Each structure stands twice: as structure tokens, then as C-alpha cells.
A and B are shown apart, each in its own frame.
Chain A
């Protein structure tokens, strides 16, 4: 189609409206409302959408950044980033070389943004830190019981798990991944890795030849309206010979790198799921430490991918980690992953475990679902992508081809394996990072979904008028809960006086498209209540309200927005959830 960017804003609006009419046969009255729109209230103020060099409020503000040099800079202090840092320092010590490794992490402390099931296969850890047990790694719960079921509204159908299948968890550990990551951080610091939690990598820096030079951390002290405050200070530049990007699923810098280096040109688009998780302290009589339970089926229908996990942890208290995963290629815009999760807990088989218990934590995160064919090119001049940032579990490949309905929820992390890569640094000629993926695969209704390349998750939603709204039960406050009290439990918070980091390329699209055609699905797929359509003060029409402070950094909106208008950028460092051992 003709490049819309060459046209004026008005023309673009009309072109977009025309596209929608042609594609969706939208009712005439909706079309006319959009074309005769009054001024749309300003939502986005972030400088990535409104550059500061053209903004008069920024005239004369000192924009130079302090720069420092390291050998390796790692973006993301999660399992991948920390393992890479540890391995690099181990190699450097082995070869008696000096190596400055810096890790920047947007969470205020290591592990605070980590969320996973999780079921960990220790093979990689055995290679990385063979004496992990003596060093006190928090792998306290070996899997002793593996249960898998298909749920219907009232019943639970057990499915036997045969040894040898990828979903067999025997020999693995149920872990609180946040605690494991925190421990990895301590190991890294011991080896001399410089850890900087509370500082987000906001920008990728490039050399003149186009290779990656390093990153710049976030600026601080920008007001909600995008203007500089008294406490404004520029972020810092960290230059490195090699920059590793371990941002986790759908990282915002990785998104830029895909485009910059065309990393996705020879692979299938990535598909995702959203995982929601809670920690419960349950009645001791119901506690079975070491038991891993998974299910598929109810409350999701045949066309929606997803399932649940429930792990009994052995960490002193009778603690269980439970959660629900929904594939983000779902088609019904009325679906709410959060409410499916809350509804699932009312299944009779669950109620018996949870009754009398207490919920102590909540969180959510998107995860990769695409298989081997969705893995992009990982290396580029000056750096590479590691961990979940590019891709996911190799076990998924085999899972695609099994015909048993099974589910093993992934430990969400993977170590990157490569034999050698071209690095300008003479020091690191050969880097080996132990590679292993925890067995994973979410249930796929294999008989229905043999096709690959279904396309982008964001393109799967059907218009609201073609779908039936879903009647979700009201939360009872004991087993199921409302969204806002759940978000409070995540401990999430952000400095309120900063530009919303959920940026919109075009502020008029949410009402004109998302609300008009899809009934505002972002109100439902966001697990933190960030997006709300509220009536305009003038009374006629609606506007989108973005409660950026609630964001739990799950990235679902960036993935699922049918207009692909939402671009998640990193907020000021230290903001976000305060997960404790999730």
C-alpha cells in the first residue's frame, strides 16, 4: 500500500479509516464518528515519539552524556544475562585476563522483575557452577510427583505421563526463579561482575559503521508532560566491545535490533503467551512438597491455547506457586487472560487445595511460544541476543509433533549456546556458555494447529461484532480476586511524574480503531489495569486513559495490540514490580 507516512495527519487518518472499512465493513456511523473527530486528548508525551531536538522546552538543556568503557555490557540481570556474565568472568579468570563486565538491570534489585513457573532442569547449572549445592543455590524442591490433567467445567481427567516424553519433569527442581536469580547475582558479584540494578538500558548506541557500540541508560527527571524538571539528568553511556541483550521475552531494545539488522528476515514471526502467576500459603494438610501439576482444557475453549501449573514448593512454609498461561494468538477480543486465571481457580480440583489458604503474591509476564522456526538471527556486529529475548525452548520442537495433549510449563529461561563468534575483542576469542533449556511446551491443541506461520499474534483478533462477550464470574475475594487488589500485590510502582512509557505512535488510534472495532481489548489483556476507556469530560465519546504506574512490564500490550500502535519503552529505572521470589 502507499506509504502513509508521506501524507499529512488528516490524510493518514482517512487512509486508515478507509483500510478498516475495506477490511472490516465497519458500520457507517462508526466510520463517520471517526472522520469528524474532535481534538483527541494528548496521551503520549515521550521523547521517542516527540523528539526533544524539535521541542522548545528543551532548548539550551545540556544533553551531553557521561561515557564509560567496559569490555562487555549486558542488558538485563536475569538468568541469561547473569549466566553470561558469570561464564565470561570464569573464562577471564581461567586465562588470567582482565575483563570488565557490567550488567544493567531496570529492576531496583536483582530478581525483582523475574517471574516464572518454574521448573528448572539443572544440567546447565551443573556445567556453569558445579558446586551450586554447596554455594547454597535455592534449588530446594526436587520434583517428586508429576500430574497432568484435562479439565472440564466440573471434572478432572488425569492423563498418565510416560517417562521419556518432554513433559516428564522427574529430576528437575521447582524453584522460585526470582530467588535463584538473586543467588546468581551474588555469584556474579563474587566473580567481580559489576551489577547495576535500578538503571535501565534505554537506547542502543551505534558506531559509524553501524555496529553496536553499547547502550545508554535512561534519562531521569522528565515531567509527565515531557518537559525537563529541575532534577533532570541525562543517562550514561556504556561503551563495550560486545553488548549482550538479555531483556527477556519481547525486549524493547531487541525490537529495535530486529529492525536495524534485519534479524527476523529468515524466520517465522514469534508468537507469544501471557503467563499470570500467584503465590499462595495453603493449609498444611493440603501441602504436598515436590508435586508438579499441570492442566489443559477448562476454562479455555478448543481454539484458545493455554493451560495451568501448580507447584508445591518445599521452602519451609506450605507454599504453592500456581499460574495460568493463555496463548496470545487468541481471536476473541472479549477474552481476559486475568479473568480466565481467576475463574480457573474455582475448579473443584483447585478449590480443595486453595480453600483456607492465603494469596501472598501476584504477577504476570509474556513468554515466547514460537518454536525453532521463530528464532531470529542472534548475532550482529557488536553484540548478540541471549536468553528469551530472541527465542525459546528447543523442546517445543518435539512437542509440536507429539499428539498427546500435555503441558509442562517452562522455566522461562535458556542459556545461549554458541561455540565461537566474531568479536573485536582479542581477549574473548572463544566464549562458551552452557546451554540447556528447561523442558517446556504449553499445550497445543495439536490436532487443530499443525500449521506454522499463523502470523503475528496482534493480527489474530476478530472484530468485536463477530464475537460473543464472555460472562466472567465475579471474584469472591477468597479464591478469586479483582484486578486492582492483584496489582497492589505485585508491589509495582513508578515515579508518577514522568512521561507514560506505554507510548502510542498515534494518540487517535485507540478510540478510532481499538475501541471501535475490537471494543478496546487492551482493557482486558493487560494484567495490571493500565488501559481504561473512560468517558470524555465533555460527555460525547470516550478516551483512553493510561495508568502507567500500574504497569508490571509484562509486554503483552506491545505484542497483542491489534493496531500495533502501542510501543512499550523502558520507564525510569527502579520502577516496575517488586516481585519477591516469583
Chain B
């Protein structure tokens, strides 16, 4: 099969790090904070590499949007088995306001440029929890989508995707080209071992600007304020229903 897979990877603050709001309340502190590849993106990369190992796809291209540091994330994808990388340079204010809509436009443009047959993304990023990029990318390309995938199989020119939905598991068959977003149980990502990191240094990462792809990354959203969630107050136990009604009235709830 001569299929080419595009995998999107996002560099996010590591899940074990305690987040701190910036003193000016415009966002969270990121300087010097430990970052790593979004866990769902790791699963996406693993799936793409597995497909290549099964000889169902020919080439895996890892893509990331952001400043210089995202190159480390692309390198990790390369070390896991991706063939080459594309770094879409977005930095400064543009990067702070970069959201799913702009990324989808970038991925759609890249998919056309690279003639990709399949796009695999993580289902959501752990920093914004949007769960929108995969769906928007499919819509922009007018491609079918298999989201929350826990199993992916290529059968001839169709994709059989088992989706994890609220009611259980749903199996769908979609035509290629398509967009798939990876859920937790799709696979267990392999480690990026040192020999592979060393080999990855020789793999190519192309630099591209959004303007080169004809994409405008300006945001239609303005973040007014970022705050920590309010401190959780202790609850109060009440003895009788009358007490409960009284307390609710006192709190102005009823």
C-alpha cells in the first residue's frame, strides 16, 4: 500500500506537574516547566507506526505546531518510528492563542499538500481538553472520521474503527481517506529508546510557516482571565430535612 499517514503531536505540560497560574492571570506558567508529548498523541504515533510495521502504510509523517521547542516532541515521534517530521512554526502571541480551529486548518492544508491518506490524532490534548481538532480537520477536508478509536483495521480501501462511546463500543466502516482520533485503549505506546533517539537526529524535520500553507492563525477568541479553581470548601452534614431546607434558603439557593 502506498498510503501516507499524517500524525499530529502536541507538546503539553507534563501530566504530573502542578500547574501554576501566572501572576498576571493571563495564562499558566510554562517557562522551564516540564513538558512532554500529549499522551493521546503518543498513542496516535504508536498506531501509525504499527500500521507501517504491518506494511499497511508506507510513510508516517509527524507534525507539530509551535515554537522551537516542539522539535523535541517531533524527535520523540521520529524515535518511535515516524519517517520524517514537519514543524509548523508558530510562536509568541500567535502560539498563545493557537487553538483547534487554526490547527485543523493547518492539518487540512498539510494533508492536501502531502497527499496524505490517513490522519491520526490524539482524541484530545490534556492541557485544553478541547476534543475538537480531529473532528474539525475531517470537516474541513470533507473526510469521514473515526473518533475515540480503540481499534483500527484497514480492510481493502476502507477503515474499520471500533469507537468508545458512552453506551459502549460502536463499530463503523469508513472510506479512506479519513481522520482517526486515538483513545486510551487503542494501544500501549513503545518507549523512545536512546539508539532510536540517536537515529532520529538524522531524520528530516521540515520547517513550514502557516502563511506558506495559506492559513491565518489569528484567533477569534480572547482570553480575558485565567484563575485557579476556587478552594474546595468543606461540606456540612445536616440532621433533618427541615435543616436542609433552612440551609438552602439561607444560601439563597431556594
Interface residues of A (CB under 8 A from B): 66, 68, 104, 108-109, 111-112, 178-179, 182, 196, 199, 217, 220-221, 230-231, 233, 235-236, 281, 317, 360, 488-489, 491-493, 578, 580-581
Contacts and interface: CB of A to CB of B under 8 A. Distances in A.
B191 A221 contact: yes
A108 B34 contact: yes
B195 A491 contact: no
B112 interface: no
Interface of B: 14-18, 20, 23, 31-36, 188-191, 193-195, 197-198
Contacts of B35: 109
A178 B32 contact: yes
Top-10 shortest CB links A-B? A493-B16, A578-B34, A220-B191, A491-B17, A580-B32, A236-B194, A66-B195, A199-B194, A578-B17, A236-B195
Nearest to B191: A220
A493 B189 CA distance: 18
Contact of A489 (B15, B18, B36): B18
Contacts of A230: 188
Contact of B195 (A68, A104, A109, A281): A68
A380 B246 CA distance: 79
A578 B198 CA distance: 24
Given A231-B188, A236-B195, A493-B16, A580 B34 contact: yes
7 contacts: A108-B36, A196-B194, A220-B191, A231-B190, A235-B194, A491-B14, A493-B16
A580 to B, nearest CB: 4
B32 A108 contact: no
Given A108-B36, A111-B32, 6 more contacts: A112-B34, A217-B194, A231-B189, A233-B193, A489-B18, A491-B17
A300 to B, nearest CB: 30
Nearest to A179: B32
Contacts of B194: 104, 196, 199, 217, 235-236
Contacts of B195: 66, 68, 236
A578 B191 contact: no
Nearest to B32: A580
A230 B15 CA distance: 24
A493 B35 CA distance: 13
Contacts of B193: 220, 233, 235-236
Contact of B33 (A236, A488, A489, A578): A578
A221 B32 CA distance: 28
A493 B16 CA distance: 6
A485 to B, nearest CB: 10
A578 B16 CA distance: 8
A66 B198 CA distance: 12
Nearest to A65: B195
A217 B193 CA distance: 9
B33 A317 contact: no
Contacts of A581: 32
Contacts of B197: 196, 199
Nearest to B23: A317
A112 B32 CA distance: 9
Which residue, B14, B15, B20, B195, has most C-beta atoms of chain A within 10 A? Answer: B195
A488 B15 CA distance: 12
